[in-house]
Structure 1
Amino acid sequence: SAIFMGRKGSDKEKIRNFICERFEYDLSETVAQIREYYRSDPTCQGSVPQAIIAFLESDDYEDAVRKAVSLGGDSDTIACITGGIAEAFYGGVPPTIAEKALGLLDERLRGVVEEFAERHPLGVE
């Protein structure tokens, strides 16, 4: 829902309110508060709200992912969720980050990413 809403131009408060109401997630904490106690938790309640909060507090794509990673615990999962939302909301991954990441993929995986991006461009209805 957050990715869809981000792609459709919803603001962060609208995204927060919808997620809280629809999924009953508590999004009232801050990244700083979560950082004090967070440990790896493989459940949805133990990773999805934290990922959304990292996005909600962010200023841009990179800031969102850095905040997510800074939580520790299951940071790769949290950063993936946060990054997906941030990409949709901020209009993509910054070119320098995208180029570096694509350069780490083998040719087959790079092709999958490029094909997906062609089929589902950001900012297109």
Structure 2
Amino acid sequence: MLALWKRRPASPEWISGDIAAANALLVRREFDTEIVDQLLEERIAWRTVSGDTKQMGMVHFQRLDDAHTRVELVMDVEPTGAAEKAASAVGMIDRRVNGDIRRFKELIEQRGGESGSWRGRVSPD
């Protein structure tokens, strides 16, 4: 699952996220991120390094059994501009992220698992 999560910018079948939310508000935000921590099959953490928005986050995958995994997403997003601040205040951003997580779950269940990728370790600075 971690491998598929890392490919999220190239996975339009499940993510609507930041760009779609911004477009819905007639605002487009672009930013670059870097992975700051990654542990094989368990978690990945990132932060923005440039662009129009500041955010950091971590997704944690906890294997419960052969058929179940708990996915926990923690994000800290600093809304910029009136439109994003208003969207955040009414819960629009939270709903969008929850929808992305639901679509990610559906994608994993349809595929029957992840597709594979690099599985090394990235350590925090």
Same fold (TM over 0.5): no
Could you state the TM-score of these two structures normalised by the residue count of structure 1?
A: 0.27
Indicate the structure with greater strand content: 2
Could you state the TM-score of these two structures normalised by the residue count of structure 2?
A: 0.27
